[in-house]
Amino acid sequence: MAAHILVACGNGIATSTVVASKIKSFLAEKGVDVETTQTKLMEVPGKVENYDLLVTTGQFEGQTHGVPYIHGLPLLTGVGAQDTLNKIYETVKDK
């Protein structure tokens, strides 16, 4: 079964598209099947429960209801991007 990742940013459009597609292409190379859904940060608390992982491009201080959370800013700036991708891989590879 594919892992479901919720990718959130300010408007659910701009930076989340960049991060979601970087995650998808990285995991595709590793042979991990994922589905990403993009959303606004304000809508995260109401949605996150149904996902295996939450990645946000900015600060997020709300409730994740126990869903693992990874900060995705490095995927935008490029600094530490590889570490972040590996962390994401470790989190979802067995889902």
Partner 1 sequence: MNIVMDVFNWLIAAGPTVLLPVIITIIGMIFGLRIDKAFKSGLTLGIGFAGIKLILDFMTTNVGPAAKAMVERTGAHLTALDVGWGSIAAVTWASPIIAILIFAILAVNIVLLIIKRTHTLDVDIWNYHHMAIVGVMVYFVTKNIALGVGSSIVMALVTFKLADWSQPMTEKFFGMPGVSLPTVSALSSLVIAWPLNWLLDRIPFMRRNKFSIRDAQKYLGFFGDSMIMGLLIGMAIGFFAGYNLMKIMQLGVSMAAVLVLIPKMTSLFMEGLMPISDSAQKWSEKRFKGRKLFIGLDAAVVVGNADVITTALIIIPLTILMALVLPGNQVLPFADLAVVPFRVALVVALTNGNLLKNIIIGLVVTASLLWCGTSTAPVLTEIAKSVGIKLGANSLYISSFAATSMIQSFAVYFAFTWHPLISIPVLLVIFAGVWYFFDGIKHVNAAMDAQNQKSAHA
Choose which of 35, 65, 79, 80 interacts with partner 1 (CB under 8 A): 79
Single-letter code of the amino acid located at 16 = S
Q: CA–CA separation, 74 vs 2, rounded Å?
A: 24
Q: Indicate which single residue of 5, 6, 7, 15 sits in contact with partner 1 (rule: CB under 8 A).
A: 15
25 binds partner 1 (CB under 8 A): no
Q: Which of 88, 63, 78 is nearest to 7 (CA)?
A: 88
Q: What 8-state DSSP symbol labels residue 43?
A: G
Under the rule (CB under 8 A), what is the footprint of partner 1?
8-18, 21, 38, 40-43, 45-46, 56-62, 73, 76-79
